[in-house]
Homo-oligomer: A and B are copies of this chain.
Amino acid sequence: MTRPDTSPLRIGIAGLGTVGAGVVKLLAANAGAIAARAGRPVAVTAVSARSRGRDRGVDLAPYAWEDDAVRLAARDDVDCVVEVVGGSNGPAKALVEAALAAGKPVVTANKALIAHHGQALAEAAEAAGVALRAEAGVAGGIPVMKALTEGLAANRIHRVSGVLNGTCNYILTEMAATGRGYAEVLAEAQAKGYAEADPAFDVGGTDAAHKLAILAAAAFGTRVDFAGVTTEGIERITAADIETAGDLGFAIKLLAVARMEAGGLEQRVRPTMVPRESLIGSLPGVTNAVVLEGDFVGTCAFTGPGAGEGPTASAIVADLMDIARGAAGPLFAQPAAGLRAAERLDYSDEHAPYYLRFSLLDRPGALAALASAIGEAGVSIHRMRQYGRGGARAGAVPVVIVTHDARREMIDGAVARIAALDVSAAEPVAIAIEEI
């Protein structure tokens, strides 16, 4: 045994928004317990942000100030850098690169940075012999990167799935609870601070896709492949879809799924029907959840707050404590050089049971035409419901079909055939069903 280092781990924090200020608060509030558990104190020595004067609810006087975040990397009194600037390029990337090049470990909450540049940055960290960690970037306060890279690391993981964006989960949960439409609930979420003024990044699925790409790399030993995530947002989900899903025992969630199949890696973020009574189906408000399925452990699920000052700070400081203990392993569970480029699963090989909603003109033979078009497309029907009149157009009736497991290209074929029928009154809707 070498004598453990008991000197303080000296931290430079770049970015003093909610999260950066939260880290300062947490390190002060729980300093004693943190030192006891990490084996040494973890202490902020320097900070950087865009505006020095702003009141952040924390006293920054004890800390050195840098106008230029990148200069934190060069300071002699900074052993380790916390990057909470944000953005996949610009100062965040420059700072992380500079810190690693200077042989200083980095903790970041920046999922966009890791989703885009994780491979190069992980290699740089390993070349320098220091840690790069990003627990706070994925599912906020839930220690799921630790579960994947350490706690369940003995397993071959089959599937990672989860609700990774709290804004979308809030909107969909509210729509289901109140029967209100997407636009109205989004406006309310914005008013409550659960959604940004420009919500595209969240509701379009990009934020969840960033997180999924990072989880998949750690789970499957593959290089992070954000470009390989097929992403569809929640903007087109209607109150009618949610209501019909409820009738069938399902909830609609923005589900992120990464699955290793024989044909390659499937990574998808999309509105998905899941059993309403399941852990994911009943997930409330802005909570996140991740479900991991491994060959020996079976299924483990993790739920918790996906964002916010306290949860994000909790994850960042946990990474700092691992670094203080000298116990921080590779970002993606194994050395980055050993990660293989994932084959992407061919679109046409993806398969799932589907929920299909059609709007048919109320004419004799309409239902038969629909059923035969589905059969011709090779899609097998599990359940079918015809509702009373009340579609978007007068005289149109909604018909809902739940299929058996079907390849996506067969579903596309069925939808195209039915959209072309003269009894089709509106664009069909297809939503995948995931048993989870």
Contact = CB atoms under 8 A, between A and B. Distances in A.
Q: Provide the main secondary structure of the chain A interface.
A: mixed
A194 to B, nearest CB: 15
A200 interface: no
Contacts of A298: 141, 304-305, 308, 310-311
Contacts of A303: 279, 300-301
B279 A155 contact: no
Taking residues whose C-beta sits less than 8 angstroms from the other chain, chain A's interface range is: 35 or more
A149 interface: yes
Given A296-B314, A300-B304, A303-B279, A321 B153 contact: yes
B329 A153 contact: no
A20 B115 CA distance: 39
Given A314-B155, A327-B329, A300 B30 contact: no
Given A30-B154, A34-B154, A37-B149, A294 B322 contact: no
A189 B147 CA distance: 31
A154 B297 contact: no
Contact of A143 (B26, B37, B150, B305): B150
A427 to B, nearest CB: 35
A237 to B, nearest CB: 23
A314 B22 contact: no
A29 B295 contact: yes
Interface string A298-322: 1111111100101101110110011
A151 B147 contact: yes
A146 B335 CA distance: 21
Given A37-B333, A143-B300, A303-B279, A317 B154 contact: yes
A33 B313 CA distance: 31
A333 B318 CA distance: 12
A304 to B, nearest CB: 4
A301 B299 contact: no
B305 A26 contact: no
A338 interface: yes
Contacts of A152: 141, 143, 314, 318
22 contacts: A26-B296, A30-B295, A37-B333, A141-B298, A146-B147, A146-B151, A147-B147, A150-B150, A150-B321, A150-B327, A151-B315, A151-B318, A154-B321, A294-B314, A296-B317, A297-B310, A297-B314, A298-B304, A298-B310, A300-B304, A322-B327, A327-B327
**Among all A-B residue pairs, the 6 with the closest Cβ atoms:** A143-B151, A300-B304, A154-B317, A327-B327, A297-B314, A1-B129
